[in-house]
Chains A and B, each alone.
Chain A
């Protein structure tokens, strides 16, 4: 199967082309099934490739498949080539697998949309780009996918483009990502001039062999990290991701939670030897950026009322964990968390989509409540996702988060570890808040709540017992459960979120030896150079204790939220500043709209008045002088030679006046 690895991107490419040509004829639901079938094809090939790799010895689990020579100039010889190794195949498996489920879900979710086939056109283009990104044999093929997913993200965020906010969000995502791409490109340039190639094998081998100067390796690693910060929505470039929720919810699940936003983490893991060869402060910096982002975003999530915004900030926060892992040399844990996060976050985004669908496009959690009675499957699966992200064992998120925290303590010390723990408490808290607001408590969707009343309702829900009146424009309505095609993906993802942890279980006494560290063994050929060795650390010695501490934190967070939002023991504390995201986004917008715009305007003014003014001014002077000289001429001015003559005269005039003036 490895020699047909190109089929993985080829399937969605064919799907894309077919929908491009026949999309309108296929219509609904044909286009959706075609797109889903294409992605299923990729998944099957990925599974085949997985078993093919598995049948080889660990050292030989790497295969390069060249399709054609892409950009060959002089020393720069870039092939359109794919690298199949444990890392890329792992990525392919979960990307295509989850993408397939989300395609199915979207067939139900996009029902009735006039642009149904176009949606799946973009979705297949996205899967194509994403598989190129993870399968690329060199930085440039990855960059092709990297920009491709960014473009699809742009197209899908502004999918409902007649609304200005959606259009702005799409543009914001693209431009912010481009800031990161600047770093990605410079990293490529630096790597090329230092090694003579942009292929992963060449760059990583140079880093492993120590043939790169530390400063070069640091430069490459950190510039790639700049790219990762943009794509994976870390501080200071995270601002586009919450806005990206303007896109249809399946897009939020697929692109802005499970796959695209993890591309930055993938890139860092792929280049882990470079990170190891870099100066020590480089990974430390990455760990700090990740930890601060995780905490920062978690605090914002505490006070969000839009069901998708909570999940968006939660995604930023969880991505922060992954970078904390990368910065702590825990590459396996980063990938592990990426996978479990993909399971439970895709699940919760789809669940929120199901809720929004059932609530007739309502996204405000203050107008929800008690939905578990009306949407039992959605509620049950969402609750599994909640337990997974909150870090309750044995759900998937617990295992991956625990491993990250372990490496953090062992490698980066107690401060970052505490930040990680506090974030875990906050995570459990805000997710519990969300579950309670949406699925439990009293139904608030019957009340005719405007924004101001809704805010009060939240504080004193007793008033919710107002006479039930119509809800928006939909008249009397009851939230309804979603159709099976939307529920099946939820159930499958819930299953994965429940047991996903088995792929990488720690060496706790009660776990059979053959079940331990399976992902680590599998990824070992890729990460062995960079992976931190913590077996001798005291943290590792006390890992059971640390796990118990993590569980205690998760339970504390849940308990606190239950106490506030369910038992009403205390008034919720949701400061305005948190709801507004620490006013960070506001500050950027204010700067761009204010001084930034003034600066741009000044340049335009400068161009018009100074640069062009100088030209027109000197033209006036010259034409005055030329007018005097022309009287002496008798030839036909239109004659070409005559024009030439004027040109020479102008030249002389230019010299005389130019010298005199300047």
Chain B
């Protein structure tokens, strides 16, 4: 059940290149002399821009009619254990790959790490590139072992980025982030091993770590499936993070350097929600469906609780971090609603949250560079002195609030409307989270940007050209996706529908669909007139 359409398979191993290019860049940086720091950024820029170009090319070449994995690359790696270098991309991972590809060069080119010692540039850029390779690999892997390796690899550069370039409490935050995630991963590791061995005796021929092979052929006993699912799920729940496993996130976000926060919010958190879809639902449909009430409840708690906690934060960066807890709650809600609209919305929201929150962290980073504080109470009246900066901040804020016409709305709306039929009362509460989002973000905006600027804020510099150039792609995506999400939706949906069909088939249950009432106008000819008019207008 691999990619059906060979038309979309390039002769060129594009997916492997997406991972290897940043690795090569990192390797080159390691080999370069410490005394030539100016080359570090250049190499990092070249390899990340090349990766970005390739991810754009991948998106262009992607066949939107094909619901399976495309550009599949399958090489034996550790053959005797059934471990393969198996990569593939489908609608669910495509835009996450694109986001990863585009986000890194922006972070590398646009954010100054402020190294006092230029020699520090070398490890900084090397770690960033290694991080990119890891994230790419995790989104592209179709082999359980390979995925686990990448999933774990990303921790190492992130640990050093937070610990080496972070703020006051960076070591505490880095350690907490590392250990917390490791504990979750340990469960997954056990689960992966067990899954492979149990699968080899239940439907799969021999030992293999191949995700597709196992998902399509293995049949687990109900209780076995549930145990295995929870092994995976705990690792992903920590990564998302799902309440109450979220407390590493505000610390890590707040203490990480700007580039770290952007990447962390932009793509790394999605490893959790992506994992739930790609591995949780795909491998263990029955268990996922059986435990859905738990997930929905935790998701809704995350939405409201994260929003309330965000409201009361005094540190701007921490506030954005808590807003992530709320936003990611929506994604979990959509995932466990099991409808096409909701899961498509979840995938949208993964990308959109990456764009909006990534941009927010960028902007907060710019504020910190100017004022050397993140405390909301020390900022005031910035709109009066830096109106363009304020406008950019407000646009991103509105996108994060989920105002229609901007990107954030599309995902949130699809999640809520898609989940309503299968998780009605959860949606009723989750929709209230939309009110809270407006409250905490606009309140923060008011305190930071409105009012009369005091002495310390009077000299706040306006947005610089370089900063504007970094923000422009974010703003472009925010507006374009909000107005015309179809190019994304039509590429995501086939893969989602295929996943849902698989889930229904293997899970042995049916998912509710909306009642459809055909238009039956009492005056039938009215309708015909309508149609005729529409047709006319179409010409």
B514:A196 contact, CB within 8 angstroms = yes
Per-residue contact bits, chain B 376-403, to A (CB 8 Å; 1 contact, 0 not): 0000010110000000000000100001
B435:A647 contact, CB within 8 angstroms = no
B485:A71 contact, CB within 8 angstroms = yes
Does B156 sit at the interface, judged by CB under 8 A? yes
Residues of A within 8 A of B152 (CB): 640, 643-644
Residues of A within 8 A of B165 (CB): none
A188:B186 contact, CB within 8 angstroms = no
The dominant DSSP class at the A interface is: helix
Residues of B within 8 A of A171 (CB): 442-443, 446
B180:A615 contact, CB within 8 angstroms = yes
Does A633 sit at the interface, judged by CB under 8 A? no
B179:A650 contact, CB within 8 angstroms = yes
Q: Pick the contact of B417: A168, A181, A189 (CB < 8 A).
A: A189
A647:B183 contact, CB within 8 angstroms = yes
A73:B534 contact, CB within 8 angstroms = no
Does A485 sit at the interface, judged by CB under 8 A? no
Q: Which B137-183 residues sit within 8 Å CB-CB of chain A?
A: 152-153, 156, 176, 179-180, 182-183
Chain A's nearest CB lies how many Å from the CB of B475?
12
Interface size classification for chain A: 35 or more
Chain A's nearest CB lies how many Å from the CB of B194?
13
Does B538 sit at the interface, judged by CB under 8 A? yes
Chain B's nearest CB lies how many Å from the CB of A491?
36
Does A281 sit at the interface, judged by CB under 8 A? no
A603:B438 contact, CB within 8 angstroms = no
Residues of B within 8 A of A73 (CB): 340-341, 344-345, 414, 418, 489, 493
Residue of B nearest to A597 (CB): B312
Does A209 sit at the interface, judged by CB under 8 A? yes
Q: Compute how far the CA of A350 lies from the CA of B497 in the bound complex, rounded to whole angstroms.
A: 55
Indicate whether A175 sits within 8 Å of B521 (C-beta atoms), given known contacts A162-B450, A182-B435, A607-B305.
no
Q: Compute how far the CA of A607 lies from the CA of B304 in the bound complex, rounded to whole angstroms.
A: 13
A615:B533 contact, CB within 8 angstroms = no
Per-residue contact bits, chain B 414-435, to A (CB 8 Å; 1 contact, 0 not): 1011101100000110011011
Q: Compute how far the CA of A456 lies from the CA of B345 in the bound complex, rounded to whole angstroms.
A: 62
Interface size classification for chain B: 35 or more
Residues of A within 8 A of B309 (CB): 603-604, 607
The dominant DSSP class at the B interface is: helix
Does A619 sit at the interface, judged by CB under 8 A? yes
Q: Pick the contact of A650: B182, B344, B515 (CB < 8 A).
A: B182
Q: Pick the contact of A615: B247, B381, B534 (CB < 8 A).
A: B247
Residue of B nearest to A154 (CB): B442
B514:A615 contact, CB within 8 angstroms = no
Per-residue contact bits, chain B 495-539, to A (CB 8 Å; 1 contact, 0 not): 001000000000000000111110111110010011001101110
Chain B's nearest CB lies how many Å from the CB of A228?
16
Residue of B nearest to A216 (CB): B515
A198-206, A300-308, A418-426, A564-572 - the one binding chain B: A198-206
Per-residue contact bits, chain B 200-231, to A (CB 8 Å; 1 contact, 0 not): 00000000000000000000000000000000
Q: Compute how far the CA of A164 lies from the CA of B523 in the bound complex, rounded to whole angstroms.
A: 57
Q: Which A54-83 residues sit within 8 Å CB-CB of chain B?
A: 59-60, 62-66, 68-76
A651:B517 contact, CB within 8 angstroms = no
Q: Pick the contact of B312: A201, A212, A601 (CB < 8 A).
A: A601
Per-residue contact bits, chain A 488-509, to B (CB 8 Å; 1 contact, 0 not): 0000000000000000000000
Q: Compute how far the CA of A18 lies from the CA of B434 in the bound complex, rounded to whole angstroms.
A: 32
A72, A74, A75, A167 pick with most chain B CB within 10 angstroms? A74
Does A211 sit at the interface, judged by CB under 8 A? yes
Does A577 sit at the interface, judged by CB under 8 A? no
Residues of A within 8 A of B450 (CB): 158, 161-162, 164, 166-167
Indicate whether A193 sits within 8 Å of B189 (C-beta atoms), given known contacts A148-B404, A148-B405, A162-B450.
no
B514:A192 contact, CB within 8 angstroms = yes
Residues of A within 8 A of B5 (CB): none
A60:B529 contact, CB within 8 angstroms = yes
Q: Compute how far the CA of A88 lies from the CA of B383 in the bound complex, rounded to whole angstroms.
A: 38
Chain A's nearest CB lies how many Å from the CB of B259?
23
Per-residue contact bits, chain A 466-492, to B (CB 8 Å; 1 contact, 0 not): 000000000000000000000000000
Q: Pick the contact of B526: A59, A151, A651 (CB < 8 A).
A: A59
Q: Pick the contact of B446: A64, A168, A205, A614 (CB < 8 A).
A: A168
A647:B189 contact, CB within 8 angstroms = yes
B434:A175 contact, CB within 8 angstroms = no
Q: Compute how far the CA of A181 lies from the CA of B446 in the bound complex, rounded to whole angstroms.
A: 21
Per-residue contact bits, chain A 135-166, to B (CB 8 Å; 1 contact, 0 not): 00000100110011001001000100111101
Indicate whether A644 sits within 8 Å of B189 (C-beta atoms), given known contacts A66-B537, A167-B450, A178-B438.
yes
A162:B515 contact, CB within 8 angstroms = no
7 example contacts (A-B, Cβ-Cβ < 8 A) are as follows A178-B435, A185-B434, A201-B519, A202-B519, A604-B309, A650-B179, A651-B186
A residues sitting closer than 8 Å to B (CB atoms) are 3, 59-60, 62-66, 68-76, 140, 143-144, 147-148, 151, 154, 158, 161-164, 166-168, 170-171, 174-175, 178-179, 181-182, 185-186, 188-190, 192-197, 201-202, 205-206, 208-209, 211-212, 600-601, 603-604, 607, 611-612, 614-616, 619, 640, 643-644, 646-648, 650-651, 654
| A-B complex: 8 closest residue pairs judged by Cβ atoms | A196-B516, A651-B186, A167-B450, A189-B420, A74-B340, A612-B247, A604-B312, A144-B404
For the complex with contacts A71-B486, A74-B344, A167-B451, 6 further pairs of A-B residues with Cβ separation under 8 Å are: A76-B341, A147-B404, A161-B451, A205-B520, A644-B189, A647-B183
